[in-house]
Amino acid sequence: MTVAIIDYGSGNLRSAAKSLERAAKEAGGGPVVVTADPEAVRRADRVVLPGVGAFADCRRGVLAIDGMMQALEETVIGAGRPFLGICVGMQLMAARGLEHGTTEGFGWIPGDVVALNPERPATGEALKVPHMGWNALALRDSNHPLVAGFGETPYVYFVHSYHLRPADPAQLLATVDYGGPVTAMVGRDNLAGTQFHPEKSQSVGLRLLANFLRWRP
């Protein structure tokens, strides 16, 4: 069972690869390959798209690799192989990103990527952006296979200024509270995405990656 982590010049690839390799030992998975080769993506049993930085820059990075977007469409949407987007890699699944203008996304999860504008409920005082640090997940779908074994109060690590607001509430798998609900996980069918960084989220992040490697959507 090969896992392809897409290298398009963005994302903490080394940490993501090391965490997936560790999870593969636990889940009995196969090799983890960091690649910019569309054919390697087509051969993979699972696909992971990390992302750090601006939405438009990350989208340009994917499109700049000849044949990569086509390979993603064929493998993830056409063949239905499990896909995990991390941080901006999750945001790219949206219809649009509204960061410094409007940028078209992949259109896999209807909805927009919008700026955080958090305030303290009691005072209206603005909270710091980017949202950075540990937060407790509120699971909207505790039966989803990717959150199995998370425990009562799973804490995960965030660094972001935008989040994906899905048009369909059923595709919102988890939120966190940061001056109001903030999207933490989205998903449908064989697609899943985390706004948090599983590779930085210690035991909960490792559990999520192991669940992803076992996932049979």
Place of tokens 């933490």: 184
What does the block give as tokens for 195? 């706004």
Q: Is the peptide bond before 50 cis (omega within 30 degrees of 0)?
A: no
- In the set 58, 131, 160, 199, the catalytic residue is 199
Task: Indicate if 104 belongs to the active site.
Answer: no
Q: Compute the distance between CA of residue 170 and CA of residue 140 in angstroms, rounded to an integer.
A: 9
Burial of 168 (0-12, 13-18, 19+ CB in 10 A): exposed
Nearest to 50 by CA among 214, 211, 209: 209
> Is 100 within 8 Å of 114 (Cβ atoms)?
no
Task: Indicate if 58 belongs to the active site.
Answer: no
Helix (H) or strand (E) holding 29: none
- In the set 58, 87, 131, 160, the catalytic residue is 87
Nearest to 203 by CA among 155, 144, 145: 155
Task: Indicate if 99 belongs to the active site.
Answer: no
Active-site residues, by number, are 87, 197, 199
